[in-house]
Amino acid sequence: MTANIKKISLSFGSTGVEFEIPERNLASIILPLEPEIKEDPFSLIKKSLENPIKSKRLSEIVNPDSKVAIIVSDITRPTPTKKILPPLLEELYLGGAKAENITIVFALGLHRNQTEEECRHLVGKEIYEKIRCIQHDRKRCRYLGETSFGTPVEVFEEVVDSDVIISTGTVEFHYYAGYGGGGKSILPGVSSENSILSYHSFYSKLFEGELLSGRADNPARQNIEEAARIAGLDFILNVVLDSKKRIVAAVAGDFIKAHRKGAEIVDSMYKVPVDPADAVVVSCGGFPKDINLFQATKSLENSTQAVKKGGSIVLVAECAEGIGDSTYERWSRECKTPDKAVQKFRKHFEFGGHKAAIVGRAAKEFKLYLVSKLPETESRSAFFIPVTSVEEALEKIISENPKAKIHVMPNGGWTLPVIK
């Protein structure tokens, strides 16, 4: 008798992959609880700007002489900036702000510079031609003070010299900061390399403890918010997206209070109770979350909550831009075993090396498979077993345990399994 087969599609870069799995082996498809979209994005954002949380309206904060900085996400983030900016600019103009006094700053952190085409694509042609758009420059930062965690607050001078600082972004789970959005656009977004490395260095002390993703009370988030306070972040406009990257909610106002409201919405949608299974197949949700392995590891970390110790994880990530970080590449080459990567990270923090340690920690507990466009040698050096398809990985898993129960996570970058 032929087993019943389930066909499943997953995002892979800007396209997708399909695979088949015997229904007897499918534990569940871990999906978010997504609300029905009843309003267009412009209306949702406009309402949030008209009803800011613990803050005056932006139109009451600015005046005709205000020099305004709007910090926006870079190409590695899914934030729909071109949809966020029109209602935001409308609110600023309502308060008398002038287009020539507004600067849009791309928050690169330690990421690569964007091409002009990427910048234009992110904000939209009309806004790109009307409003001054610049990229963060880590070498042009000014020292403003220090957080209680000892992190120097050194912020891009173009932001510091503004009268009003506005941050935009997406509230989503983040492996270290708990959630994206809020003050994260300041630190690490528009901070110096010195500040960013200091901020990330705490991860070597925290990464083997309790999962930080989905926790707003974690030390990294506290450090971020102290830095944002010192930098003088005035206002945030953050959105929550569904799995199809559509705006389902917007929050505006105080950078802590509004952010927490956004985090509540994310929790209600994306924290999914599960019983750990023998294996999980996890897609990052496609581009840009699987643009490189550096970004894709965030989905890997989320998926560990859905698997029994000793189980298998199949990561589906295109990685069109390869590993995505030269330090991560070097650590993957130099650390011959997962344990060596973890041990090295305990002793010595190096940005990029933390990704090798994250994967190393997972590889010590689970068998890791990778469906990607990476060369096999790079996949193996990063502690993954390279496979050409999801089916190939499933064949290996099921041949070892014919009764294996397997979860599927189509949106690993968004979804956080929570053990029942």
- Region 281-296: mean pLDDT is 94
Check residue 1 and give its pLDDT: 39
pLDDT digits (tens, 9 = 90+) for 123-146: 999 999 999 999 999 999 999 999
pLDDT digits (tens, 9 = 90+) for 153-197: 999 999 999 999 999 999 999 988 999 999 999 999 999 999 999
Beta-bridged to residue 315, according to DSSP, are 282, 370
**Where does the pLDDT of residue 376 fall: very low under 50, low under 70, confident under 90, or very high at 90 and above?**
very high
pLDDT digits (tens, 9 = 90+) for 224-248: 999 999 999 999 999 999 988 899 9
Share of the chain above pLDDT 90, in %: 88
Check residue 2 and give its pLDDT: 54
Residues 6+ apart with CB under 8 A from 77: 169, 170, 180, 288
What span, in angstroms and rounded, lies between the C-alpha atoms of 302 and 175?
A: 8
Name the nearest CA neighbour of 298 among 307, 288, 309.
Answer: 288
**Helix (H) / strand (E) containing 267:** helix 257-270
Tell me the C-alpha to C-alpha distance, in Å, between residue 180 and each of 27, 57, 185, 294, 406: 30, 23, 9, 16, 29
**Where does the pLDDT of residue 286 fall: very low under 50, low under 70, confident under 90, or very high at 90 and above?**
very high
What span, in angstroms and rounded, lies between the C-alpha atoms of 236 and 165?
A: 9
- Region 247-260: mean pLDDT is 97
Tokens 């923090």: give the residue: 349
DSSP summary character for residue 100: G
**Contact of 215 with 224, CB cutoff 8 Å:** no
Residues 6+ apart with CB under 8 A from 336: none
Structure tokens at 85: 């900016």
What span, in angstroms and rounded, lies between the C-alpha atoms of 48 and 235?
A: 12
Structure tokens at 238: 């953050």
What span, in angstroms and rounded, lies between the C-alpha atoms of 342 and 66?
A: 49
Q: Residue 279: pLDDT above 90? A: yes
Name the nearest CA neighbour of 269 among 126, 414, 157.
Answer: 414
Q: Output the CA torsion sign for 158, 161, 162, 167.
A: positive
**Where does the pLDDT of residue 37 fall: very low under 50, low under 70, confident under 90, or very high at 90 and above?**
confident
**Contact of 371 with 313, CB cutoff 8 Å:** no
**Where does the pLDDT of residue 207 fall: very low under 50, low under 70, confident under 90, or very high at 90 and above?**
confident
What span, in angstroms and rounded, lies between the C-alpha atoms of 339 and 355?
A: 13
DSSP secondary structure, 7-74, as one string? EEEEEETTEEEEEEEEGGGEEEE----PPPP-S-HHHHHHHHHHS-BSS--HHHH--TT--EEEEEE-
Tokens 């130099």: give the residue: 334
**Angle between helical axes of 338-347 and 326-334 (0-180°, round to 10):** 120
Mean pLDDT in the chain?
95
Instruction: Give the lowest-confidence range in 170-184, 196-210, 257-271, 396-410.
Output: 196-210
- Region 327-355: mean pLDDT is 93
Q: What backbone torsions phi and psi does residue 372 show, to the nearest 5 degrees?
A: -160, -175
What span, in angstroms and rounded, lies between the C-alpha atoms of 172 and 179?
A: 5
Q: Which domains does the chain have, with CATH numbers?
A: 5-30+275-419 (3.90.226.30), 41-268 (3.40.50.11440)
- Region 97-102: mean pLDDT is 98
Residues 6+ apart with CB under 8 A from 297: 175, 355, 358, 359
Check residue 351 and give its pLDDT: 83
